[in-house]
Chain A
Amino acid sequence: MKITNNHYDVVIIGGGVVGCAIARELSKYKTSIAVLEKEDDVGWGISCRNSGVVHAGFNYKSGTLRAQLCVEGNQSFAKLCQELDVPYKKIGKVVVAQKKEEIRELKKLKAQGEKNKVEGLQIIDSAELKRLEPNVKGIAALYSPETAITSPYLLTIALAENALRNGVSFFLNTKVKNIVKLKNSDFRINTNKGEFTSSYVINSAGLYSDKVAHMVEKDKYRIYPCRGEYHVLDKNASWIINRLIYPVPKAGTGGLGVHFTPTIDKNILIGPSNEYIKQKDNLSTTSQIMKLLSTETQKFLPLISSRDIIRSYSGIRAKQAPPSEGGYWDFVIEESNSVNNFINLIGIESPGLASAQPIAKRVVEIINKKEKLSPNSNFNPLRKGILRFEEQDKATQKALIEKDPDYGEIICRCEKVTKKEILEAIDNPLGVKDLISIKYRSRAMMGRCQGGYCLTRIIELLREKYHLNPQDITLKGEHSSLLTGYRSDEVKIC
């Protein structure tokens, strides 16, 4: 395998949580790796728009990859998060039955889970449910102590940063146009940023994995976008639940039902809905679904009020199961039959987050079988995230300010994010300058005032750091300028 300027042993298409996990996993070996991501930052697709749940694995049909990889991922998730300095909490989950018939479903789920080797599953009665979750309406529940939560975007960023540190090249804003298999059996990958060649291509393009597969092998797969909308609640409502609260999943729908997720940052998410849509990039929220979310909320948690909502958003599942059929198809993780060294990852929907690391391991195995990769002795599994000032005790906070007074300036009042943290987020290893990337990395602008207080301050810090013109400050990618310029042509302050 030779390395020239734009030649890599492995090119990974797609910088979502799975693509980044593969990049990191591969960087444990002596290979040259490039990740091509069409957006300005990693994780902007499905990876930043889900519930952030590390599923235990009882929802999936026994014997499927989804079941197997999810259980495996769940068991090793704490270690992964520890290495990468990513928040993780094993808070547990209850699947709540409200009708007698549903108890039978709970028992089925428990049996399936046990077959999948999920630990600790218990059916609890209404009294026990009341003790665990006093505000939830239900007659019985399946309790899963192993279900955990994480921050899906911080995990994706952390995987990417650690991969970067271990030698992986990231090409952001790089959209693959077509792929050609060359005579020497290499691939030529044409992008908007020029040509790459590689020995292997890993198609980890999420919603667009069908399109990427189609570039080398016609009409093999098809991805149907299936949207899920969410509400985010004010932290003041966080006391209402302690664990993940799920309804009993309805057979045939391709989702787990509208559920209630305490996030790592102490918000609650309500959602997602489940709706096949036409366009893969239609991230709209809709009034119909908003109504549905409130109806579902009233059923399970009448204490939650619409006054608690601080934001709504949506994510899109990459489903293989067509709308006429619904439900789930298993993950596809395989080398193409007809195109050597082209590895497809298709239909990685939930539990893709929990399974990211095991999926990466499978991909490396496929390559290893063919190449006998030699270990990279310089691989460092550890990565440090941005230290959260707010989470430190008072003595540590004092010491931090003494060491660096930028810790003494709170820029985001709702989330209590200091100037130091924002400067670190601005100065991120991947060099991303979009406002949303600073938000994901620092939590600034995620609180109840949604940037009302800190937006102006962050714009100023961003301009200072990168010497940007006002119109070059973008919210999220191309054509998303926040400002149209200076107030008047006559006045220039720079």
Chain B
Amino acid sequence: MLKEKEVIIIGGGAAGLAAAVACQEKGIEDILIIERNAYLGGILNQCIHDGFGLEKFNSSLSGPEYAQKYIDQVKEKKIPFLLDSMVIDLSTQKEVTVINRQGLQHYRAKVIILAMGCRERTRGAISIPGTRPAGIYTAGVAQELINLKNYMVGQKIVILGSGDIGMIMARRLTLEGAEVVLVAEKLPYSSGLPRNINQCLYDFDIPLLLNHTVIDIKGNGRLSEVTLAEVGKRGGIIPKSKRKVACDTLLLSVGLIPENELSRQAGIVLSLITAGPEVDERGQTNVPGIFACGNVLQVHDIVDNVSLEAEYITEGILDYLQGRISESQEIKMTLGAGLRYVVPQKIFTIKDTIFSFRVNQPGKKKTLVFEEDQKLIKKKYFPRVNPAEMLRVKLSSSELKDINKLKVKLV
């Protein structure tokens, strides 16, 4: 009844596929990928624009092309996967219940890799007042309807939030003949990548209104109008700036939330900042043998980094399976000025470790400093930093050797 597996990967998107391939390359044979969709590749399948793979493959691929590179390897290496199968239970004992048309199946694995990705923040979560008509979509749902189902979601579009998917959809909808009136961003800077601002908005003359948000929604059947307002320095609305914008569609690109419902079930401790599991230097959660990578761990801006992160954690997985993890004293990590978060949140053993960061606000000529008390461990200079762009820095085992605590800050 209970089928045993060495490694079970929950999610067959970018993270899960890369983790599977890397596990297999490290000699782990008994792997199972569980995917809830009818196909592998996850959200990449609906990302038909290019720009994927610049770092990994040195070429600009579309989402499906990028996914296919990994799907081909999974098939070539004969890594087993289940499609149309959803994990409904995950326990601390690493027992997994899967549901599909064949029934309920129960597995137990030595290692679980969480690779469930993320979901979009909705209108309800950000409490936009107004009526609740048809025509309000998160950008990703609109992308799915248009790119995978060939439907058109609307003709006159306002986009709230300058996340990458929102900007990409601004271009996509324009190319499909819709009028994208504007993109409003609540913050004084975009939450998406600079290249998308240029290629998706400026190249198509779509205005990006920073410090602006939607404060009211009107329409009984279908959306007819939104009220836009400027956000003041303290975050309040500037009353005089209110103006009505006629539109039939509002797309929301207001953030992504790592999808950790299963992680909660398994008793995994989640970070309040990333909303992903707190992990150590190997990508291991507080539950031994459960690892996390990709957008379920922290929301990435570039898929190449998802793949790299998935590959990176398989080193620790191999160590775990071979009993090579000998935990020493925890190195206490503290976050200094200028940074929103750092992953991993904990360090138990000294090894070459990749740290990922996001900064609090855009800046120029910044240096990331690692220090123990006042002693400098490492620094790295960035000509520009941007909250939209994740920073990744590797510290070697020799750099980390003999330290008891580690503080990171941006100066």
Contacts of A251 in B (CB 8 A): none
CA A452 to CA B119, docked complex, whole Å: 8
Which of B27-35, B142-150, B360-368 touches A?
A: B142-150
Q: Are A290 and B134 in contact (CB under 8 A)?
A: no
Residues 169-185 of B at the A interface (beta carbon under 8 Å): 176-177
| Chain B proximity of A273: nearest CB distance (Å) | 12
> Is A336 close to B, CB under 8 A?
no
Q: Which residues of chain B (184-219) have a CB below 8 Å from chain A?
A: 215-216, 218
B372 at the interface (CB under 8 A from A): no
0/1 interface trace, chain A 401-437, chain B, CB 8 Å (1 if under): 1100110111001101000000000000000000000
- Complex: chain B residue closest to A408, CB-CB: B101
**B326 located at the interface, meaning its Cβ lies under 8 Å from any Cβ of chain A in the complex:** no
Q: Tell me, yes or no, whether A449 is within 8 Å of chain B by CB.
A: yes
Contact B100 A409 (CB under 8 A): yes
Q: Identify the closest chain B residue to A492 (Cβ).
A: B150
> Min CB distance, A414 to chain B, in Å?
8
A401, A408, A459, most chain B CB atoms within 10 A: A408
Find chain A residues with CB under 8 A from B131 CB.
282-284
Given A311-B124, A487-B176, also A408-B100 (CB < 8 A): yes
B220 part of interface (Cβ distance < 8 Å): yes
What band does the interface of chain A fall in when counting residues whose beta carbon is under 8 Å from B? 35 or more
Query: CB-nearest residue of chain A relative to B147?
Result: A487
CA distance A483 to B356 in the complex (A): 40
Out of A398, A449, A474, name the residue touching B104 (CB < 8 Å). A398
Task: Report yes or no: B145 in contact with A483, Cβ–Cβ below 8 A.
Answer: yes
Q: Is the CB of A477 within 8 A of B86?
A: no
The answer to the question of A285 belonging to the interface, with a C-beta cut-off of 8 Å to chain B, is yes
Contact of A484 with B by CB under 8 A: yes
A328 to nearest B CB, angstroms?
Answer: 28
Does residue A365 face the partner (Cβ distance < 8 Å to B)? no
Minimum CB–CB distance for B187 against chain A, Å: 18
Chain B proximity mask over A47-86: 1 for CB below 8 Å, otherwise 0: 0000000000000000000000000000000000000000
Check if B36 sits within 8 Å of A413, measured CB to CB. Answer: yes
Indicate if the CB atoms of A408 and B176 lie closer than 8 Å. no
Q: In the docked arrangement, what's the CA distance between A488 and B150, Å?
A: 8
Q: Which of A309, A460, A484 makes the CB contact (< 8 A) with B127? A: A309
- Chain B contact residue count (CB 8 A cutoff): 50
List A464-488 residues whose CB lies under 8 Å from chain B.
Answer: 470, 474-488
Residues on B with beta carbons closer than 8 Å to the beta carbon of A329: none
Segment of B152-160, B283-291, B331-339 engaged in the interface with chain A: B152-160
Is A306 part of the binding interface, using a Cβ–Cβ cutoff of 8 Å? yes
Contacts of B130 in A (CB 8 A): 284-285
Verify A486–B151 contact, CB threshold 8 A. yes
Q: B151 to A449, Cβ gap below 8 A?
A: no
Known: A284-B129, A484-B153. A310 touches B122 (CB 8 A): yes
Cα distance A29–B151 when bound, in Å? 49
CB of A450 within 8 Å of the partner chain: yes
B123 at the interface (CB under 8 A from A): yes
Closest to B176 in A: A487
- Least Cβ–Cβ distance between A232 and chain B, in angstroms: 7
Tell me the bound Cα distance from A479 to B331 in angstroms.
60
Closest Cβ–Cβ distance, residue B248 to chain A (whole Å): 8
Q: Which of A135-182 contact B (CB under 8 A)?
A: none
Contacts of A397 in B (CB 8 A): 99, 104
A231 contacts across to B, CB distance below 8 A: 127
Q: Which residues of B contact A486 (CB under 8 A)?
A: 150-152
Please name all residues of chain B whose beta carbon is closer than 8 Å to the beta carbon of A322 when the two chains form the complex. Answer: none
**A interface footprint on B129-144 (CB within 8 Å = 1, 0 otherwise):** 1111111001011001
Q: Is B329 an interface residue (CB 8 A)?
A: no
* Chain B residue at minimum C-beta to C-beta distance from A475: B134
| B6: Cβ under 8 A from any A Cβ | no
Contact of B215 with A481 in the complex, beta carbons under 8 Å: no
- CB of A128 closer than 8 Å to a CB of B: no
Whether A394 sits at the interface, judged by CB under 8 Å, is yes
Query: Closest residue of chain A to B264, judged by CB?
Result: A236
A276 at the interface (CB under 8 A from B): no
Q: Distance in Å from the Cβ of A309 to the closest Cβ of chain B?
A: 6
Q: Are A281 and B104 in contact (CB under 8 A)?
A: no
Query: A308's closest neighbor in chain B, by CB?
Result: B125
Residue from B101, B132, B134 within 8 A of A481 (CB atoms): B134
B37 to chain A, nearest CB (A): 10
Give A477 to B220 CA distance when docked, in angstroms. 9
Known: A286-B129, A449-B119, A456-B145. Contact between A480 and B153, CB under 8 A?
A: no
Taking CB atoms, residues of chain A closer than 8 Å to B84 are: 409
Q: How far is the CB of A277 from chain B (nearest CB, A)?
A: 13
- On chain B, the residues within 8 Å of A449 by CB distance are 119-120, 122
Cross-interface CB contact of B221 among A236, A410, A478, A487, cutoff 8 Å: A478
Given the interface contacts A283-B132, A484-B152, does A450 sit within 8 Å of B86 by beta carbon?
Answer: no
- Within 8 Å by CB of B141, from A236, A451, A460, A491, lies A451
Encode B62-74 as 1/0 by CB contact (under 8 A) with A. Answer: 0000000000000
Contacts of B220 in A (CB 8 A): 281, 479-480
In B39-92, which residues have CB < 8 Å from any A CB? 84, 86, 88
| B312 shortest CB reach to chain A, Å | 28
Closest to A285 in B: B129
CB distance from A132 to the nearest CB of B (A): 26
Contact between chains at B222 and A479 (CB < 8 Å): yes
Task: Find chain A residues with CB under 8 A from B398 CB.
Answer: none
Please report which residues of chain A, range 201-220, place their CB below 8 angstroms from some CB of chain B when the two chains form the complex.
none
10 contacts between A and B (CB under 8 A): A282-B131, A312-B127, A313-B132, A408-B101, A409-B84, A410-B99, A476-B134, A480-B220, A480-B221, A484-B248
Given A287-B129, A310-B124, A408-B103, 17 extra CB contacts under 8 A: A236-B264, A285-B129, A290-B127, A401-B102, A401-B103, A408-B102, A449-B120, A452-B120, A456-B144, A456-B145, A479-B221, A479-B222, A483-B153, A485-B151, A487-B150, A487-B151, A487-B176
Q: Report A's interface with B, CB cutoff 8 A.
A: 231-232, 236, 281-287, 290, 306-307, 309-313, 394, 397-398, 401-402, 405-406, 408-410, 413-414, 416, 448-453, 455-456, 459-460, 470, 474-488, 491, 493
* B interface residues with partner A (beta carbon < 8 Å): 36, 84, 86, 88, 97, 99-104, 119-120, 122-125, 127, 129-135, 138, 140-141, 144-146, 148-155, 176-177, 215-216, 218, 220-222, 248, 261, 264
What are the nearest 7 A-B pairs in CB distance?
A479-B221, A311-B124, A475-B134, A480-B221, A405-B101, A408-B101, A450-B122
